Structure 1
Amino acid sequence: MDKTFMIIDDDVNVRKMLAILIRKNRLGKVLTELDSGKHAAQEILFFNPDIVLIDLLLPAMDGIEVINEARSKGYKGKFIMISQVEDENMVAKAYESGILFFINKPINNIEVVSVIKGVCRIIDLENSLALIKNTVMNYDAENHKIKDTNDKNIETRINKIFSDLGIIGVAGSNELLKVIYTVHELKLENPNAEYQLQDIYEKVLEEDDDNIEKLNVKSLEQRVRRTIQKALQTLAELGLSDFDNDIFLEYSTLLFDFKQVRQQMRHIENPKEEPGKINIKKFIEGIIAKLRYSQ
């Protein structure tokens, strides 16, 4: 499905250029254009575009203020900021407000199209993930078990994902695999099962008779966390080299908060920036969702 766009910039030439790029590359439909921040949040809510291309410095209300107001009133779409502002603090505030990307003017056509295509892919993947979460309620009424035909090769499939993420064979990957498999087994018994990670860690340790090092819960959790952090690093490096990379686009939203992936990308570019953060449970649930509903 074609994406819908709104362009907010006080420079009519920029608006025309962006509209032409969207139309020429068949990226979607521009619903409307605004030349000011005045009433922009209300217009965003009214048109509800998938993607808003917005300048930082706008008459009446700047881009960050517009974004914050739109977000506070429930807008769930994506923001891409295109501006000539290069002040690091202002750019940081823009990211904090919820933009996915900040593109500097003058506009580079190839960069703009690449970023927009990437954001479109992110939207598609998020929609797919939402569908997966809705579908997870489809289970056998008699046995109350999720229908799963791929359980025999589950370890192989997890390792394939690990290979994509650059963590196959690294220290901690074996422990992470066991944690994921344990949660997977729990979900097979009851798709609505709630769990605490500490309980999962304890179960893994109880069943791990081959554990020479005799890990405790804390050390196991640290190994799992470091391994997932390494996966985040791999994705961020992929995104920096090729934003259209399929692995980057799929896993950066399925397994992580995309804002944190973007933060890790900024950290790679400038080590003074804070690294991105991970959510262990989101990572595990994302992999289980992919295992369940992909072939």
Structure 2
Amino acid sequence: MIEMTNTFLIIDDDVNVRKMLTYIIMKNNLGKVVEELNSGEQAPEEIMFYQPDIVLIDFLLPQKDGIEIIRSCRTLGYKGKFIMISQVDNDTMIAKAYENGIVFFIHKPINIIEAINVIKGVCENLRLERSVAMIKDAVFHIEQAKQTNVEVNWRQEIEHIFTAIGIIVESGCKDLTKLIEKIITIKKKSPASIYQLQDIYRQIAEEESLQNNGSIHARTIEQRIRRTILKALENIAELGNDDYYNCKFIEYSNVLFDFKQVKQEIKHINNPREDRGKINVKKFVEGIISKLNF
């Protein structure tokens, strides 16, 4: 159950959007809205003042856009979560949002089910992060052997998730696991570290080349991983197409993928002439990591 401890700040120049999001948050007992803003002019200052757990922020705002506000807040040391509200379809702009730390999107016009699922997912991530932080504080001085057991546990959790979304037998599953493990190692050293996927692809390719006495290219690793994630998108979309309230669909569709792309994949399933949904490797990986205790 999601605890009523989270605070929200909403930034959108459309009063109806703000009212709808406030209603969704209050109606579903997701937390408390501490402030609403209709422009980005004073947004960083207000965010730093209120220190909300979650900021729902429009991509395009008067005075300052959403990306600029997020960058300012991160520079000032804000550690909360951002959910981007957007009607933007430009893939380059959306990719730019992911690069600046956005993992969750709510698309306009707002779909209530999507909004509830996204906000609940972020609330659940916060709850897990707090739980993990408490556990880490409690076991700070445990022996190295116990730490090894914890690592085994999150590796088992990865396998459990891959099994749940139907990719455990895919050929790129091992590469995807290595990618996640290397990013976890980076995050253990510094949670705020910025990493480049291409650098990690090259590391995996070099290691595999040494093990097999051959030459594996980073592009090959990337293609395997992307095919595996695309298969996961297909599997999740199949679940949603059969039952929109399927528990696995609800749990993973927003966390691992852009929900708009999940809906596009469902369209493709029903009409192969429709374009397939698109994947974002970083969002998928960060979504997996958000569900692990490490």
TM-score tier by shorter-chain length is 0.5 to 0.7
- 8 Å Cα contact 2:205-2:217 kept in structure 1: no
Structure 2 unaligned regions, length at least 5: 183-188, 190-202, 266-273
State the shift of 1:21 in Å: 1.5
Q: Does the alignment pair 1:74 with 2:71?
A: no
State the shift of 1:129 in Å: 4.9
Aligned residues: 256
Structure 1 residue corresponding to 2:12, chosen from 9, 12, 20: 9
More displaced stretch, 233-242 vs 43-52: 233-242
SS at match of 1:145: helix
Aligned match of 2:199: none
Counterpart-to-counterpart distance in 1, 2:224 and 2:140: 30
Aligned match of 1:104: 108
- 8 Å Cα contact 1:49-1:77 kept in structure 2: yes
CA distance 1:7–1:201, shift in 2 (3 Å): same
Q: Any idea what the Cα deviations from partners look like across 1:239-284, whole Å, max 9, x if unmatched?
A: 664698558857997xxxx6xx559958x869899853469xx89x
Aligned match of 2:167: 167
Counterpart-to-counterpart distance in 2, 1:13 and 1:78: 22
Counterpart-to-counterpart distance in 2, 1:249 and 1:52: 21
1:5-154 aligned within 5 A:
5-86=8-89, 90-99=93-102, 100-105=104-109, 107-130=110-133, 137-140=140-143, 144-146=144-146
CA distance 1:16–1:198, shift in 2 (3 Å): closer
Structural RMSD (CA): 5.3
- 8 Å Cα contact 2:233-2:279 kept in structure 1: no
Counterpart-to-counterpart distance in 1, 2:33 and 2:19: 11
Q: Does the alignment pair 1:216 with 2:213?
A: yes
SS at match of 2:145: coil
CA distance 1:162–1:95, shift in 2 (3 Å): closer
Aligned match of 1:212: none
SS at match of 1:69: helix
Q: Does the alignment pair 1:276 with 2:273?
A: no
Counterpart-to-counterpart distance in 1, 2:40 and 2:154: 51
Q: Does the alignment pair 1:232 with 2:235?
A: no
TM-score by length of 1: 0.59
Aligned match of 2:198: none
State the shift of 1:162 in Å: 4.4
TM-score by length of 2: 0.59
SS at match of 2:146: coil
Q: Which amino acid aligns with 2:61?
A: L
Q: Which amino acid aligns with 2:44?
A: A
State the shift of 1:104 in Å: 0.9
Larger Rg: 1
Counterpart-to-counterpart distance in 1, 2:71 and 2:50: 17
State the shift of 1:26 in Å: 0.8
State the shift of 1:31 in Å: 0.9
- 8 Å Cα contact 1:52-1:77 kept in structure 2: yes
CA distance 1:251–1:231, shift in 2 (3 Å): farther
Q: Any idea what the Cα deviations from partners look like across 1:56-86, whole Å, max 9, x if unmatched?
A: 3333223232222222222222222334555
Structure 1 unaligned regions, length at least 5: 184-191, 206-214
